Amino acid sequence: MLFIDVLTASKLTYLFYPNWTIAVLILLLEPLVIILSIGYSVLISSRTNDIRAAQQLGTLIILPMGAIYVLSEINILQLTITNLLILSFAFLVMDVIVFYLVKATFQREEILTKWR
């Protein structure tokens, strides 16, 4: 971002970064997506018996962010601050749901006794 600011400051007459869109993406949406990814991975690994199956099912977590990327690239979804806040709220709801699912399904003692 610093490099872009250095190159474009003379033409734009202002610094492009940081802006509110980047702030919402980096400080709000990105941590929520990371928390969802970790929770989903724990949920999948506690429900499967095979490491390969867990790994393959774990890769499905990239689909929501991939869909957001594709929809923004084909101009169906504009990444405005309002839309990013709505997406952040949706990911927050998914985080809470996955947290309670993980809390209900994760059995630490069972994993420790059956692991070889």
Residue 31 pLDDT:
95
pLDDT in tens, 53-70: 888 888 888 898 899 999
Helix (H) or strand (E) holding 78: none
CB 25 within 8 A of CB 87: no
State yes or no: pLDDT of 115 exceeds 80: no
Quickly tell me which residue has 């929809």 as its tokens. Answer: 71
**Angle, CA of 11, 14 and 18, to the nearest 5°:** 120
pLDDT in tens, 79-114: 999 999 999 999 999 999 999 999 888 876 666 666
pLDDT, the chain, mean: 87
What whole-number distance in Å separates Cα of residue 2 and Cα of residue 11? 15
State yes or no: pLDDT of 16 exceeds 60: yes
Domain ranges of the chain: 19-114
Residue 109 pLDDT:
67
| 3-class state of residue 15 by DSSP | coil
State yes or no: pLDDT of 116 exceeds 90: no
CB 77 within 8 A of CB 83: yes
98: CB partners within 8 A, 6+ apart: 36, 39, 40, 43
The tokens for 39 are 């929770």
How deeply is 91 buried, as exposed, middle or buried, from its count of CB atoms within 10 A (0-12, 13-18, 19+)?
A: buried
